[in-house]
A and B are shown apart, each in its own frame.
Chain A
Amino acid sequence: MGDVITAPPSPSVRRVVEHDYPTAEILALNMGPQHPSTHGVLRLMLEIEGETVLSLKPMIGYLHSAKEKLAEHKTYHMFIPYTDRLDYLSPMANNYAFVASVEKLLGIEETERCKWLRTILCELARISSHLLCIGTHAMELGAMTVFLYTFRERETLYDLFEEICGARFTVSYMRVGGVARDYPDGWLDKVKKFIDDFPACHRDYTDLLAMNDIFVGRTRGVGVITAEDAVDHCLTGPMLRGSGVDWDLRKRDPYLVYDQLDFDVPTRAEGDCYARFQCRMQEMLESCKIIEQCLEKMPKDGPINIDNPKVIFPPRERVKQSMEDLIHYFLLASDGIHVPEGEAYRPIEASKGELGFYLVSRGGYKPYRCKIRSPSFVNLQSLSKMSEGALIADVVAIIGSIDLVLGEIDR
C-alpha cells in the first residue's frame, strides 16, 4: 500500500502461549469499570489462563450521555460546551473540530489572526493531552514521579487557558466565525515563556522514562501492532504513526495554517507501547516548534472575529449605536445561527487521532444529525488484538499507551 511501511518483527519477546492444551483451565476475569488503570469507566472481559490473556472484550457505555441526540435538539452554539466534555483533556481541539465543520457548512472562513490563534490553542491542547497520557501511563506502570512532573506543566497550561477564556478545564472558547474574546495583553509572551521552558521539562521526562529500565522493559515489545493491522483496525493518531504509517491530517489534508508551518511528523516502525510513547514525546516538541513559528508569523493586529452579524455577535459598541446590529444580536441570542441545507465533515488531527463532526443540516438553527467521529472509540478496538497472548500486567501498559478518554468513547 504505497508509503505504508511494514513494521519489523518485534524486537523483544512477545509472550504467546499455546492455548490449545486440553487440560488448560480458562478463567473469565472482569476488569473494571472501577479499575484505577482503566481511565474512567472502561470494563474489560478477559479470558485468562494463568497470567496469560487469551481473549479480551472491551465493554463500554458506562459514560454514555447521548451527546449526538442532544446535538439534534440544540442550536449550534449551544452544543459547543458539550464538545468540551468529549475528550476533556484537549477541549480546545474539540471546540475547533466542531466549529470547523459548521464553518464549512456555512461556507465562511475565519480571519487571519484567528487562524493563527486557533493553531496555537490546538497545539497547546495537544501538549496538555500528551502530558497527561504520558504521566498516567507511567503512573500505571509504577513511576509516580513523572505524573507529578507532567502536572506541573499542565498547571501552567491551564493557567494560560484560564487567562484567555476564564475556564481551566472546559473552555468553550471557540465560536463559529471566531473565538469568544480576544486574548489579553501579554498572553502571547506567557505562551512564549512556556514553550521556552518546555524543552527542559521534556528532558526531565526523557530522563525519568526513556532512561528508566523498568519503564522501557514494560513497554518495549509489548502490545505490538503491525502497520497492516493498524490500518485494518482503522487506527489514527500516534497509534497509527507508532506502527510506522506516516499519516497526519495536518500534513495530508491541511487546515488552519498548518500548510505554512515547518514541522515533522514523528513515526516509529516498532508498533509497540514504547514506540507510541516516543511518538507522543516527539510530537510535543514538534508542537513547541509549531507554536514558536505561529508566535513569529502571527499578525499582531486586525480583527479576531469575522464581521458577519448573522454568525457571530457584533462588537458591543456597535450594538449600542446601530439598530441592525441590535437586531442581529437579539436574533443570534434567541435563535442562533441559520445554517443552510447540506452536509459537511471537517476532520482534524486531534491529540489522539482523527476527530471530526459529521454535520447534516436541513436548514434552520439545529443540526439534523451530528455524528462525532472520536478517535478513542475507534482506537479502543485494537486493544483486543494487542492483548492476545500478553500478560495481565501488560494489558495495563497497553491501555495506557492507547490514550483512552472515556468521555469521547461513550459520548
Chain B
Amino acid sequence: METQSTDRLKAVVEDVVKGTAPNALIESRVAHDEVTLLVDKRWIHEIVKAFKEDPRLEFGMLSEVTAIDWLEEAREPRFDVVYNLVSLTQEHRIRLRAPVGEAEEECRIDTITDLWTGASFMEREVFDMFGIRFDGHPDLRRILMPDNWDGHPLRKDFPLGGSTSFYYKQDTDEYAGEPDDLVPRIRVQDSDV
C-alpha cells in the first residue's frame, strides 16, 4: 500500500472515529505504511462496528485480536488490546489499540464477538495469556493453558520458566512439592540484557 493511500486512510478513519465517539481518539500515527489508532476502550465496540459498516472503510474482516503488556515501559494503563482489521473490498488494513488498566475492575474491555464469531478464540487467547476480560463474551475460558492454571503467561512479570513446577516421588504419584535446589535456572527473572 502506498504512502499516499495510507495518509488518506488515516484521515478517513480519524473522521469516522470522531463521528462515532468525539472524545475517543487518543492518538493516530502512520509507521511502515501502517495506520495505528489509539482509542479509548469505552467506545471500542462502537468504533469497530462503525469501521465495519462505514461504506468508506468496509473493514469486513477481523485479522487478529491480541494484547501488549507495557510493564517494562512502566506505562499507565499497563496493557494495550490490539485489533487488526482488513477490508476485503478496499484492500486496506488498520490497527486499533485500546489501553486497558491493570486493576481488577479496570482490566476488561467490551467483546466484539457479536460482530465476528471468529473473534471468540482470539479474545479467549488474550484472556488466557494476559488476564484481560472481555465483557459479553459467550464462553470466556482459558484456551491454551490448563483450566486450573495460575497466572497469565504472557504478562511481563510471569517468569519464562513458569511459576511452579511439579515433582513426584519416585514410583508413586504422590506430589513431592518443589525442592529448592531443582528450581530451573530460567525461572529467575533476569533483567533483560
Contacts and interface: CB of A to CB of B under 8 A. Distances in A.
B32 A380 contact: no
Given A245-B88, A369-B68, A234 B118 contact: yes
Which range contains the number of A residues in contact with the other chain? 35 or more
B143 A354 contact: no
Nearest to A66: B153
Interface stretch (A167-175, A300-308, A339-347): A339-347
B84 A358 contact: yes
A2 B88 contact: yes
Interface residues of B, number: 42
Given A1-B89, A69-B160, A345 B146 contact: no
Given A66-B153, A69-B153, A345-B84, A2 B121 contact: no
A73 B145 contact: no
B64 A358 contact: yes
B103 interface: no
Nearest to A382: B118
Given A64-B145, A66-B153, A345 B95 contact: yes
Contacts of A369: 68-69
B121 A380 contact: yes
Interface stretch (A88-96, A322-330, A370-378): A370-378
Nearest to B190: A73
Contact of A4 (B73, B88, B95): B88
Nearest to A105: B32
Contacts of A247: 61, 88
A231 interface: yes
Interface string A344-355: 110100000010
B1 interface: yes
A64 B144 contact: yes
B133 interface: no
B91 interface: yes
A362 B72 CA distance: 10
Given A1-B89, A344-B32, A345-B34, A61 B146 contact: yes
A234 B119 contact: yes
Contacts of A371: 64, 66, 82
B118 A347 contact: no
Interface in A105-157: 105, 107
Contacts of B73: 362
Contacts of B158: 69
Q: Which of B31, B88, B145, B158 has the most CB of A within 10 A?
A: B88
A18 interface: no
Contacts of A231: 60-61, 88
A377 B120 CA distance: 11
A368 interface: yes
Given A1-B60, A366-B192, A69 B116 contact: no
Which 7 pairs across A and B sit closest by C-beta, in order of nearness?
A: A234-B118, A2-B89, A61-B144, A233-B118, A371-B66, A64-B144, A373-B64
24 contacts: A3-B88, A61-B144, A64-B144, A69-B158, A104-B32, A232-B117, A232-B118, A234-B116, A234-B118, A247-B61, A343-B36, A344-B31, A344-B34, A354-B63, A358-B64, A358-B84, A368-B68, A369-B69, A371-B66, A371-B82, A373-B63, A378-B118, A381-B120, A411-B144
Given A231-B61, A356-B64, 12 more contacts: A1-B88, A2-B88, A61-B146, A64-B145, A231-B88, A233-B116, A234-B63, A234-B118, A235-B118, A368-B68, A368-B72, A377-B125
Interface of A: 1-4, 60-61, 64, 66, 68-70, 73, 104-105, 107, 229, 231-235, 245, 247, 252-253, 342-345, 347, 354, 356, 358, 360, 362, 366, 368-369, 371, 373, 377-378, 380-382, 385, 410-411
Interface of B: 1, 31-32, 34, 36, 58, 60-64, 66, 68-69, 72-73, 82, 84, 88-89, 91, 93, 95, 116-122, 125, 129, 142-146, 153-154, 158, 160, 192
